């Protein structure tokens, strides 16, 4: 009986992916929508300059996909979305992520990357606190290797000290610490990943490789 109950919950899993109209996020959304037809994927994106729904044309009409236009900084709306949809899992990619922009406008990075993350953590905490055993829940926070700072030789490990050198990196490091704190304080099930630089299709042209390619194409 327990096996059947678990299957029902997994079959109706509702997964929230934030920042799903951006470069990395759109790859994640397309992957989950196409691979897991028994999951309903909710893509939440503010659609800033780096978000583009054209990245998701191939899945936008599939029955297990929904798009929600919202800003993770809007606390009231975020908490209401969690109450309404009862998300079973979160993959949190939404972030301000350009180092040069963070130097020009650090406050915007603090608001989105720190306070926006707290809003999502509270949304998950509110709806998971009384029914954590129904399904394997997870809050997956997508961070960056830039929280480790600079390295002249060798490489970082997960045990390396956190030494951010830009407002962007510092805002992501702050979010990492909050995610860990919610795990310890509220027993929220969390996962933090810190990937290095990514490149590929759909990348916004302010990034190094597409910028160079476009400049070369335009002589």
Give 112-140 pLDDT, tens digit per residue.
999 999 999 999 999 998 765 556 799 99
**218-to-178, 193, 204, 213 alpha-carbon distances in Å:** 44, 36, 17, 9
Give the residue among 161, 166, 157 at the shortest CA–CA distance from 196.
Answer: 157
Please indicate whether residue 205 or residue 59 has the higher confidence score (pLDDT). Answer: 59
Structure tokens at 160: 């390396």
Give mean pLDDT, residues 15-36.
Answer: 95
The verdict on whether 71 is a catalytic residue reads: no
For residue 14, the surrounding DSSP H or E stretch is: strand 14-18
pLDDT in tens, 54-110: 999 999 999 999 999 999 999 999 999 999 999 999 999 999 887 878 888 889 999
Q: What is the pLDDT of residue 150?
A: 86
Active-site option among 45, 71, 146, 176:
146
Give mean pLDDT, residues 10-31.
Answer: 89
pLDDT in tens, 142-195: 999 999 988 878 888 888 899 999 899 999 999 999 999 999 999 999 999 998
Taking the CB of residue 63, how many other CB atoms lie within 10 A of it? 8
What phi and psi, each to the nearest 5 degrees, are found at residue 207?
A: -75, 160
> Does residue 11 register a pLDDT over 60?
no
> Does residue 7 register a pLDDT over 50?
no
Output the pTM of the full model: 0.87
Active-site option among 45, 168, 176, 182:
168
Active-site option among 145, 186, 202, 204:
145
Are 148 and 132 in contact by the 8 Å Cβ rule? The answer is no
Q: What is the pLDDT of residue 185?
A: 96
pLDDT in tens, 38-67: 999 999 999 988 888 999 999 999 999 999
> How far apart, in whole angstroms, are the C-alpha atoms of residue 148 and residue 2?
43
> How far apart, in whole angstroms, are the C-alpha atoms of residue 159 and residue 47?
35
The verdict on whether 146 is a catalytic residue reads: yes
> Does residue 4 register a pLDDT over 50?
no
Q: What is the pLDDT of residue 89?
A: 96
Report angle CA 32, 33, 35 to the nearest 5 degrees. 60
Give mean pLDDT, residues 11-34.
Answer: 92
Give mean pLDDT, residues 7-11.
Answer: 42
Give mean pLDDT, residues 14-19.
Answer: 97
Q: What is the pLDDT of residue 99?
A: 81
The verdict on whether 65 is a catalytic residue reads: no
């Amino acid at each position: 009986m327990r096996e059947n109950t678990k299957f029902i919950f997994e079959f109706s899993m509702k997964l929230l992916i934030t920042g799903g109209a951006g470069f990395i996020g759109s790859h994640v959304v397309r992957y989950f929508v196409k691979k897991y037809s028994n999951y309903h994927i909710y893509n939440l994106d503010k659609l800033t300059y780096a978000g583009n729904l054209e990245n998701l044309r191939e899945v936008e009409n599939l029955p297990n996909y929904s798009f929600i236009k919202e800003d993770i900084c809007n606390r009231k709306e975020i908490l209401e979305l969690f109450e309404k949809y009862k998300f079973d899992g979160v993959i949190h990619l939404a972030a301000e992520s350009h180092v040069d922009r963070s130097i020009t406008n650090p406050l915007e990075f603090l608001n989105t990357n720190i306070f926006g993350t707290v809003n999502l953590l509270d949304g998950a905490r509110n709806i998971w606190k009384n029914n954590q055993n129904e399904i394997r829940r997870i809050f997956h926070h997508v961070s960056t290797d830039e929280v480790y700072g600079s390295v002249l030789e060798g490489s970082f490990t997960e045990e390396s000290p956190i030494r951010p050198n830009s407002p962007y990196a510092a805002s992501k490091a702050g979010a990492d610490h909050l995610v860990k704190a919610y795990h310890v304080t509220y027993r929220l099930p969390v996962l933090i990943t810190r990937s290095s630089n990514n490149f590929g299709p759909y990348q916004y042209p302010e990034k190094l490789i597409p910028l160079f390619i476009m400049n070369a194409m335009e002589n």
